[in-house]
């Protein structure tokens, strides 16, 4: 009856950061989907539904967390904190080992700290399992932007959790 | 041709987004470029970590129910099209609080009528049209016991084309009163029963596209609200009045 509601709920949780707020956003998105069902072209219901959810979440953010959206294009601050890929200081000791030992709470906090544009791209790929093409459709950006946001988000997480603290 | 940014290609490789030729090319580079292989290992470790450690949350059970109710999707034997449902997303509640009544516009005559319409419009955003969802009057009627002091008249009008969806409690003038929700095709009807010793006659009105029909019976003032046509709403009222209690 309500396909993709779990997908919607997960994305809403990551975008709003709160379970109750996520429920409100999902409900609004679902009701919008019911009203707008005639606008659905029938090809990819999941991406269509997630697109509506994302718009609802952004409306919610604009209203309740405007600061979160100001940081959307704060790519440079994010890029500045990441190591320069293979040339980073951790070449000798494989960070992969540290990363694998990182606990869930630290990981979640690191993801929650990502600017929303990077967070949604990461969540759509690594939590929801969407392919690049669908992520591009949902977030309304070219695939190249999806790739770059995803790579930057991951490098930022690696830099954040792949260290001893 | 491969992208100049090796990190993007590593991600695309791990995400299974590269075609075979690029996969082969990149795997050769992994063999000859340890730094790139380490990049792959880091990203892969992160992907595995997210896959293993992040909670796979599912939407709370009540959420789907609430949304389906709000959209009028609950307990519909034949599933109507969503676009048709859109017309009837406008749902339920009839009476609002005392505070709402204070805020009434004095544009039209009867304040109760205005309350009915205002509440009905506000109900567009209500999470559910019913607090108890059942088509069985023997489930709905006892549900009210212990919650309110009056035992409402609950009748099954399925044979007349108005299946019972359930009930809820509205608040009128700070008093809890029973409200029943019926369905006719894709339209919902809210029927609120307010104790009233007056002798108000039958009353019909159309405001903002919604039809309101009121009548008094046995010391109870009934308010029926729906986006149903006035003829159909009248049929509903007559069926309700004519139906035997058992």
Domain boundaries, chain A: 5-64, 70-161
Closest by CA position to A127, among listed B197, B211, B34, B47: B47
Please identify among residues 114-153 of chain B the ones whose CB lies closer than 8 Å to any CB of chain A: 127
**Hey, where are the domains in chain B?**
6-53, 64-242
Residue of A nearest to B58 (CA): A6
Tell me which of A5 and A87 has the higher pLDDT. A5
- Band of residue B67 on the pLDDT scale cut at 50, 70, 90: confident
Closest by CA position to B14, among listed A42, A165, A96: A96
Report the gap between the CA of A106 and the closest CA in chain B (Å).
Answer: 10
* Mean pLDDT along residues B65-75: 74
Residues in chain B: 246
Q: Do residue A31 and residue B67 have CB atoms under 8 angstroms apart?
A: yes
Tell me which of B107 and A14 has the higher pLDDT. A14
User: Measured between CB atoms, does B63 come within 8 Å of chain A?
Assistant: yes
Q: Do residue A96 and residue B12 have CB atoms under 8 angstroms apart?
A: no
* Residues A15, A19, A24, A29, CA torsion sign: positive
Choice among A3-7, B3-7, B144-148 with the minimum mean pLDDT: B3-7
| B110: CB partners within 8 A, 6+ apart | B203, B205
Beta bridge partners of B213: B204, B224
Would you state the pLDDT for residue B122?
Answer: 62
* Strand duo B203-207 + B187-195: pairing: unpaired
- Band of residue A68 on the pLDDT scale cut at 50, 70, 90: confident
Would you state the pLDDT for residue B88?
Answer: 43
Nearest CB partner across the interface for A100, out of B11, B39, B48: B48
Q: How far apart are the first and last CA of chain B?
A: 79
The Cα-based distances of B70 to B110, B122, B130, B223 in angstroms read 28, 12, 9, 20
Residue A93 pLDDT exceeds 60 = no
Residue of A nearest to B125 (CA): A28
| B98: CB partners within 8 A, 6+ apart | B173, B174
Kindly report the backbone phi and psi dihedral angles of residue B169, in degrees, each rounded to the nearest multiple of 5, phi listed first.
-110, 125
Please identify among residues 78-97 of chain B the ones whose CB lies closer than 8 Å to any CB of chain A: 81-83, 85-86, 89
Q: In sequence order, what E strands does chain B have?
A: 132-133, 164-172, 175-184, 187-195, 203-207, 210-217, 220-226
Tell me which of B41 and B86 has the higher pLDDT. B41
Would you state the pLDDT for residue B37?
Answer: 92
Closest by CA position to A111, among listed A6, A17, A1, A25: A17
* Mean pLDDT along residues B210-237: 87
In this structure, CATH architecture of domain A70-161: Orthogonal Bundle (1.10)
- Which residues in A lie closer than 8 A to residue B36 (C-beta atoms)? 86
Choice among A50-54, A95-99, B85-89, B162-166 with the minimum mean pLDDT: B85-89
Burial of residue B233 (number of CB atoms within 10 Å: 0-12, 13-18, 19+): buried
Q: How far apart are CA B33 and CA B156, in angstroms?
A: 76
Report the gap between the CA of A98 and the closest CA in chain B (Å).
Answer: 9
Q: In sequence order, what E strands does B149-209 have?
A: 164-172, 175-184, 187-195, 203-207
Report the gap between the CA of B220 and the closest CA in chain A (Å).
Answer: 35
Residue B16 pLDDT exceeds 90 = yes
Nearest CB partner across the interface for B68, out of A1, A102, A150: A1
Compute and round to an integer the Cα radius of gyration of chain B.
Answer: 29
* Mean pLDDT along residues A122-129: 93
Nearest CB partner across the interface for B66, out of A27, A108, A158: A27
Residue of B nearest to A125 (CA): B15
Would you state the pLDDT for residue A78?
Answer: 53
Would you state the pLDDT for residue A73?
Answer: 54
- Which residues in B lie closer than 8 A to residue A128 (C-beta atoms)? none
Q: Do residue A86 and residue B39 have CB atoms under 8 angstroms apart?
A: yes
Q: How far apart are CA A68 and CA B98, in angstroms?
A: 38
The Cα-based distances of A80 to A21, A109, A123 in angstroms read 32, 19, 22
Tell me which of B188 and B125 has the higher pLDDT. B188
Beta bridge partners of B175: B172
In this structure, CATH architecture of domain B64-242: 2-Layer Sandwich (3.30)
Kindly report the backbone phi and psi dihedral angles of residue B238, in degrees, each rounded to the nearest multiple of 5, phi listed first.
-65, -40
């Amino acid at each position: 009856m309500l396909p993709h509601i779990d997908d919607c709920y997960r994305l809403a949780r990551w975008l709003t950061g709160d379970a109750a707020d996520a429920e409100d956003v999902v409900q609004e998105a679902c009701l919008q989907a019911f009203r707008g069902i005639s606008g659905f072209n029938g090809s990819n219901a999941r991406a269509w539904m997630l697109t509506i959810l994302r718009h609802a979440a952004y409306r919610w953010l604009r209203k309740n967390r405007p600061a979160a959206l100001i940081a959307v294009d704060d790519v440079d601050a994010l890029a500045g904190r990441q190591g320069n890929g293979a040339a980073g200081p951790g070449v000798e000791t494989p960070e992969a080992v540290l990363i694998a030992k990182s606990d869930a709470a630290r990981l979640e906090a690191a993801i929650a700290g990502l600017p929303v544009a990077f967070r949604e791209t990461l969540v759509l790929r690594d939590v929801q399992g969407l392919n690049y093409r669908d992520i591009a459709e949902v977030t309304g950006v070219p695939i190249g932007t999806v790739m770059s946001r995803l790579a930057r988000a991951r490098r930022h997480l690696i830099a954040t959790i792949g260290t001893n603290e | 041709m491969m992208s100049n940014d090796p990190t993007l290609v590593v991600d695309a490789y791990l995400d299974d987004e590269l075609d075979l030729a690029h996969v082969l090319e990149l795997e050769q580079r992994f063999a000859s470029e340890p730094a790139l292989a380490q990049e792959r290992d880091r990203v892969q470790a992160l992907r595995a970590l997210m896959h293993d450690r992040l909670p796979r949350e599912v939407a709370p059970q009540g959420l789907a129910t609430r949304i389906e109710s709000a959209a009028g999707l609950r307990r519909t034997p034949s599933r109507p099209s969503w676009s048709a449902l859109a017309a009837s997303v406008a749902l339920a509640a009839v009476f609002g609080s005392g505070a709402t009544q204070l805020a009434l516009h004095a544009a039209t005559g009867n304040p109760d009528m205005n309350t009915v319409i205002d509440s009905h419009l506000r109900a567009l955003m209500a999470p559910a049209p019913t607090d108890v969802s059942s088509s069985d009057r023997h489930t709905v009627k006892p549900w009210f016991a212990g919650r309110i002091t009056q035992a409402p008249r609950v009748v099954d009008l399925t044979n007349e084309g108005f299946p019972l969806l359930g009930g809820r409690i509205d608040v009128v003038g700070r008093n809890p009163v029973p409200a029943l929700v019926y369905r006719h095709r894709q339209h919902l009807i809210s029927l609120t029963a307010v104790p009233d010793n007056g002798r108000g006659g039958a009353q019909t009105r159309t405001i903002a596209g919604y039809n309101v029909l009121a009548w008094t019976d046995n010391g109870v003032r009934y308010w029926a609200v729906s986006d149903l046509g006035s003829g159909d709403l009248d049929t509903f009222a007559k069926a309700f009045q004519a139906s035997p209690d058992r």
